[in-house]
Structure 1
Amino acid sequence: MAYLEDVFKDSGVPTHTFVEPNEYTKIVVALRTKGRCLVVEGPSGIGKTTCVLKALENTGLSNTIQVLTPRKKKDISVIHDILTKNENVGTVIIDDFHLLTIGDKNSLSDLMKTIADEEREDIKLVLIGINRAGDSLINLAPDLNNRITTVKFEVNPDSKILELVEKGEEALQIEIKYKEQIVKRANGSFHIAQLLCKELCIIAKVLMTLDKKRELNTDINYVVDKIMSDLSRVFENKAREFAIGSRLRSSGRAPYFHLLYWLSLSKDWTIRMTDIYLQYPNNKASISQVADKGFLSKLINNSENIKSVIHYDEYSKVLTVEDPKFMFYLQNINWHDFVKRIGFSKINFDSKYDFALSFAGEVRSVVSELSMVLSEEYECSVFYDFNEQHKILGEDLTDYFEPIYSSEAEFIIVFLDKNYPKKLWTNFESDKFKKRFGEHAIIPIIFKGCEPTQFDKLANIGYYTFDPEKESKDQIRKIADLVVKKLDEKRREGITE
Structure 2
Amino acid sequence: MTIRLMLEEVFKTEGLPEFTFVPPPNYNEILLDIRNSHKPVILEGQSGTGKTTCVRHILAELNPENKPEYLTARNPVHVSRIEKVAREQTPGQFVVDDFHRLATDLQENLANVAKLAADLGTDANLPKLVIIGINQIGSDLIQLVPDIAKRTGIHKIAPGTSADINKLIESGCERLNIKIRGSDAIYAETRGDYWLTQQICRSICTATNVMSTQDETREIEFSIEDVRNRVVDQLRSAYYSAVKEFCRGQRFRPKNDPYFKLLRAVGQQQSSVVDLTEMANALPEVRGSINNIKERRLQVLIDGKPAVARSFYYNAETKTFAIEDPALFYFVKHLDWNQLRQDCGFREHDGEDFEFEIAISFAGENRPLASFINESLQTLDVPVFYDEQYEANYRGKTWSKQFAEIFGTKSRYVLCILDKYYAAKIWPTFEKEQFVPRVATESVFPVFLDDTKFVGIPHDIIGMKFRFDPTDANDADWPARATKEIVYKLIDKLSE
**TM-score, length of structure 2 as denominator length:** 0.83
Q: Which amino acid aligns with 1:8?
A: F
Residues 382-441 of structure 1 deviation map (CA, whole Å, 9 limit, x = unaligned) = 333333334566544433322333333333333332444443334433333343344443
In the TM superposition, residue 40 of structure 1 has moved relative to its aligned partner by: 0.7
Cα distance in structure 2, aligned partners of 1:78 and 1:427: 58
How far apart are 1:79 and its partner, in Å?
4.8
Contact 1:35–1:119 (Cα < 8 Å) also in 2: yes
Match of residue 433, structure 1, among 429, 432, 435: 435
Return the alpha-carbon distance in structure 1 between the equivalents of residues 118 and 368 of structure 2.
56
Aligned pair partner of 2:71 in 69, 72, 77: 69
Aligned-CA RMSD value: 3.5
The answer (yes or no) to whether the contact 2:176–2:214 under 8 Å persists in 1 is yes
Is the Cα contact below 8 Å between 1:44 and 1:323 reproduced in 2?
A: yes
Question: Equivalences for 1:35-74 in 2 at 5 Å?
Answer: 35-55=38-58, 64-70=66-72, 71-72=74-75
Deviations 1:174-211 (A, max 9, x none): 23234333323324321111011112211211122323
Q: Which moved more, 1:407-416 or 1:148-157?
A: 407-416
Q: Tell me whether 206-215 or 274-283 shows the greater mean CA deviation.
A: 274-283
Distance in 2, matches of 1:159 and 1:82, equals 40
One-letter amino acid of the counterpart of residue 245, structure 2: E
Residues 248-307 of structure 1, C-alpha deviations (whole Å, 9 max, x = no match): 13333x3443443344334331122432443456766765665444x5445434544233
Choose from 213, 224, 228 the match for 1:220: 224
Match of 1:358 among 358, 361, 370: 361
Consecutive unaligned residues in structure 2, runs of 5 or more? 470-474
- Provide the rounded CA distance (Å) in 2 between the counterparts of 1:145 and 1:19: 28
Q: Is 1:67–1:95's contact at 8 Å kept on the other side of the alignment?
A: no
Matches within 5 A, 1:121-160: 124-160=128-164
Is 1:8 the counterpart of 2:11? The answer is: yes
- Deviation of the 1:13 alpha carbon: 2.5
Give the Cα separation in 1 of the matches to 2:299 and 2:399. 34
**How many residues are matched?**
481
Q: Distance in 1 between matches of 2:75 and 2:355?
A: 44
Instruction: State the percentage of identical aligned residues.
Output: 27
Pairs within 5 Å for 1:269-418 = 269-279=272-282, 287=290, 290-293=293-296, 296-345=298-347, 349-380=352-383, 382-390=384-392, 395-418=397-420
Are the structure 2 counterparts of residues 230 and 437 from structure 1 closer, same or farther at C-alpha, using a change threshold of 3 Å?
Answer: same
Which residue of structure 1 aligns with residue 207 of structure 2? 203
- Equivalent in the alignment of 1:465: 465
Match of 1:205, SS state, is coil
In the alignment, the residues of structure 1 paired with residue 422 and residue 109 of structure 2 have an alpha-carbon distance, to the nearest angstrom, of 57
**What secondary structure sits across from 1:120 in the alignment?**
helix
Instruction: Give, in whole Å, the separation in 1 of the partners of 2:426 and 2:129.
Output: 64
Identify unmatched segments of 5+ residues in structure 1. Answer: 490-497
Tell me which moved more, 472-481 or 212-221: 472-481
1:44 touches 1:321 (CA, 8 Å); kept in 2?
yes
Q: CA deviation at 1:229?
A: 2.5
Change (3 A) 1:33 1:154: same
Q: Kindly state the Cα deviation for residue 85 of structure 1 after the two structures are TM-superposed.
A: 6.9
Asked if 1 retains the 8 angstrom alpha-carbon contact of 2:39 and 2:121, the reply is yes
Q: Which moved more, 1:139-148 or 1:461-470?
A: 461-470
Structure 1 202/367 Cα, relative in aligned 2: closer, same or farther at 3 Å?
Answer: same
What CA distance in whole angstroms lies between the structure 2 residues aligned with 1:74 and 1:420?
Answer: 55
Which whole-Å CA distance do the structure 1 matches of 2:489 and 2:154 have between them?
Answer: 54
After superposing the two structures, state which structure 1 stretch, 413-422 or 2-11, moved more: 413-422
**Separation (CA, whole Å) in 2 of partners of 1:75 and 1:436:** 56
Structure 1 residues 131, 64: closer, same or farther in 2, change over 3 A? Answer: same
State the partner residue of 1:251: 255
TM-score by length of 1: 0.82
